[in-house]
Structure 1
Amino acid sequence: MKLKITAGPFEFSAVLETAKAPKTCEAFLRQMPFEGKIVHVRWSGEGVWIPLGDRDFGVGYENHTSHPAPGHILLYPGGISETEILLAYGGVDFSSKMGQLAGNHFITIASNRDKLPELGQLTLWEGAQQIRFEMADA
């Protein structure tokens, strides 16, 4: 399944990793279209995140990693830290003030990956940016 992601002034196409993270994808699809604000990570390196507090997607770990590649989007389902969605734009060692975290890799950005560092720098220096996930037109 293909998604359209609009983040700040940038637009990306992406694919849901339904074979590797089926429960996470299914839970996220129930929330579509999904909107929020991305802020720059504090502990993890080159990434932006959507803090989601105690929001419960009803999923556990699947296809989880602490080291996503640029363009990988993770859902951390909560536990020792708050629920969040993380988008890696460069090197990431996913963690919080509580320590190392692992999130479910459930979306991969497929286009305009070269714009991800610009999005990261914009978020770092200009502040929170709007983000919207929606189904892509066929």
Structure 2
Amino acid sequence: MTGLEITVGGFSLRARYEEEAAPRTVAALRDRLLPLESQIIHVRWSGQAGWIPFGDLDLGLEAENGTCYPHPGEIVIYPGGVSETELLIAYGYVSFASKAGQLAGNHFATVVEGGQHLPALGERLLWEGAQDISLREV
């Protein structure tokens, strides 16, 4: 499997790339962001998800395999525009939005191992705050 190993909040997850549906997004992630060491926080506007804001980072991306409603385990990148560039990991149901309104993120990966930990991760983000996160290609 080509994808991501994600270590976050004491949990280990594996995600497969959605290379057929989002090849440009996967390529940009590989070229510009990986490996990634950061912190993830609970979303402000979108429901049940963790969020890594990247500010005005330009990944050179446009909409690709977009969704406004990521399902649990889906990972999306919003490439910037009406809101900042950001990565979102859904642990529950999401209506992806910002203060500017509804957003469509590029669904580029899906958790395939460790998904049973997503609800506990969401609880940790909500009640304990920012958590260290590491994303590495496997």
Q: TM-score, normalised by structure 1?
A: 0.96
Cα distance between partner residues in 1 of 2:127 and 2:71: 22
Q: Which runs of 4+ in 1 moved over 3 A?
A: none
2: CA distance, partners of 1:92 / 1:14: 18
CA RMSD in angstroms, aligned pairs only = 0.7
Q: Which of 80, 86, 89 is the aligned partner of 1:87?
A: 89
Percent identity over the alignment is: 51
Q: Where does the alignment leave 5 or more consecutive residues of structure 2 unmatched? A: none
Map Cα deviations across residues 27-69 of structure 1 (whole Å, 9 max, x no partner): 0011211121110011110011001000011110000000011
- Residue 136 (structure 2) aligned to one of 110, 134, 138: 134
Length, aligned pairs only: 136
TM-score, normalised with respect to structure 2: 0.96
Matches within 5 A, 1:1-138: 1-30=2-31, 31-136=33-138
What's the CA shift for 1:2? Answer: 2.4
Contact 2:3 2:109 in 1 (8 A): no
